[in-house]
């Protein structure tokens, strides 16, 4: 848990007086919590929920900050006490779940405090009560003085505004003025059973009160007692003496710081004198530099004049070069035009020769194709002649065999059979 920043109080991180202001509100509410189901809305570190759990039947502490809930669970444990992370404007409970809802120093932190009042009314039983507190805007603004507004407060209330907002939701509101006052106690050394308290009568002054505490209900309430809380550390004089000792220690510490600062100042003044001497020497050196700078500026002026003359000569030379370049460019342009004409003529001649070569090539291709056709035809005729020659030889052989046949010879002798030619 981080140190106290003004957003929520953490026991052990604040002085006793501030802690007592907060604990007093829970002791005020614990009288109404006896044997009831209690919701501590915006429970913070959980110390107040633990106080309520001493007399209540059950206590549920809810807070939007997870680190606050974790701290409460770790430091305050009881069978009738549990903590839950939740928003005060959207409570995770059914209607009529509680008999008492307490919300101390919460409403001024909420953007939509009206939604919280409606949520508190929803989760309260018909006879339930809401105990809610908030700092007095007029007193709180004055007490903070140069520290300015509390950055964790969204809206602070005057007495009339606070009562008006509560009456808009709850028809019965009892308002109390909480003040941290000085008193004198006579406490027996041996603890007695009764306590007598006298509070001198005085006109209530809401504008000068520290805090407003309201007990709200939807049904009429009875009793409106003055409540006095005397904390365990209630010896105001001793607390003041301790506080004075602390202040004296702080003053002594600050005086030590002041002495150190004065010594540092003396050292700084001596250092300043040294620096001034060095500065005087630097000034003389600067004057010498100024003289040298004046001579240097005169020399720069002479060099600038020389540069101007050189630039003029360079411009004249550049003009001559530009004229020569113009002549060269004209000559080059005429040569380029001649080259283009030559290129055009050559291109036309080459195109003509290319066409002639293409024609000759086509004629040559046709001649080669005719030669190939003639060669193919000659080969075919040669093959045909060879086949005829082979066929003639075969027929001649058959005829010779036929003539040599004895049947043919016998037929010739008797005058029968065909007459075969001799060749």
Quote the pLDDT of residue 189: 73
Give the number of other CB atoms < 10 A from CB of residue 115: 14
User: Distance (Å, rounded) from C-alpha 403 to C-alpha 409?
Assistant: 7
Quote the pLDDT of residue 376: 87
With a threshold of 0.85, does the pTM exceed it? no
DSSP classification of residue 147: G
Strand order in the sheet with 172-178: 81-85, 58-63, 37-41, 98-104, 124-135, 211-217, 172-178
Answer for the pair 103, 116: CB distance below 8 angstroms, yes or no: yes
CATH class of 16-183+203-231: alpha beta
CA-CA distances (angstroms) from residue 245 to 13, 232, 240, 252?
19, 21, 8, 10
Residue 126: partners with Cβ closer than 8 Å, 6 or more residues away: 96, 218, 219
Q: Give the tens place of pLDDT for each residue, 163-176.
A: 999 999 999 999 99
State the helix-helix crossing angle for 236-404 and 406-414, rounded to 10 degrees. Answer: 30
CA-closest candidate to residue 2, choices 74, 71, 96: 71
Q: Is 188 exposed, middle or buried (0-12, 13-18, 19+ CB in 10 A)?
A: exposed
Quote the pLDDT of residue 379: 85
Strand partners, 215: 131, 174
Q: Give the tens place of pLDDT for each residue, 283-319.
A: 888 888 888 888 888 888 888 888 888 788 878 887 8
Block mean pLDDT (10 aa), the chain, length 423: 51 64 90 97 95 97 95 96 96 97 95 96 97 89 69 90 96 91 72 73 76 93 77 56 64 79 83 85 85 85 84 84 83 84 84 84 82 85 85 82 72 67 58
Structure tokens that stand for 360 in this block = 């000759």
Quote the pLDDT of residue 3: 44
């Amino acid at each position: 848990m981080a140190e106290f920043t003004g957003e929520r109080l953490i026991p052990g991180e604040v002085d006793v007086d501030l802690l007592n202001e907060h604990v007093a509100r829970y002791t005020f509410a614990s009288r109404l919590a006896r044997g009831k189901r209690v919701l501590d809305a915006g429970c913070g570190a959980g110390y107040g929920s633990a106080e309520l759990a001493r007399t209540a039947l059950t206590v549920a502490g809810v807070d939007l900050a997870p680190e606050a809930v974790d701290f409460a669970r770790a430091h305050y444990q009881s069978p009738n006490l549990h903590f839950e992370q939740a928003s005060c404007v959207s409570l995770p409970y059914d209607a009529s779940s509680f008999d008492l809802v307490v919300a101390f120093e919460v409403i001024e932190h909420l953007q939509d405090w009206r939604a919280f009042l409606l949520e508190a009314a929803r989760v309260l039983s018909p006879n339930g009560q809401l105990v809610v507190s908030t700092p007095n805007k007029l007193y709180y603004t004055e007490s903070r003085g140069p520290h300015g507004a509390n950055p964790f407060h969204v809206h602070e209330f005057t007495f009339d505004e606070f009562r008006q907002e509560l009456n808009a939701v709850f028809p019965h509101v009892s308002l109390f003025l909480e003040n941290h006052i000085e008193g004198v106690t006579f406490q027996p050394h041996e603890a007695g059973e009764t306590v007598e308290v006298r509070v001198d009568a005085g006109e209530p002054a809401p504008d000068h009160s520290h805090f407003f505490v309201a007990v709200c209900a939807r049904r009429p309430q009875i009793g409106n007692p003055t409540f006095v809380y005397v904390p365990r550390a209630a010896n105001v004089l001793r607390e003041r003496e301790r506080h004075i000792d602390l202040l004296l220690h702080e003053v002594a510490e600050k005086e030590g710081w002041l002495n150190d600062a004065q010594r540092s100042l003396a050292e700084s003044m001596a250092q300043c004198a040294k620096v001034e001497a060095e500065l005087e020497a630097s000034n003389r050196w600067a004057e010498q530099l100024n003289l040298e700078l004046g001579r240097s500026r005169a020399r720069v002026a002479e060099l600038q004049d020389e540069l101007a003359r050189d630039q003029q000569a360079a411009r004249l030379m550049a003009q001559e070069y530009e004229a020569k370049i113009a002549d060269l460019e004209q000559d080059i342009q005429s040569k380029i035009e001649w080259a283009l004409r030559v290129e055009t003529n050559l291109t036309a001649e080459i195109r003509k020769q290319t066409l002639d070569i293409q024609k000759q090539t086509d004629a040559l291709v046709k001649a080669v194709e005719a030669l190939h056709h003639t060669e193919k035809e000659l080969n075919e005729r040669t093959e045909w002649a060879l086949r005829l020659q082979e066929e003639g030889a075969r027929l001649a052989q058959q005829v010779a065999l036929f003539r040599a046949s004895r049947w043919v010879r016998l037929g010739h002798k008797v005058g029968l059979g065909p007459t075969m030619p001799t060749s």
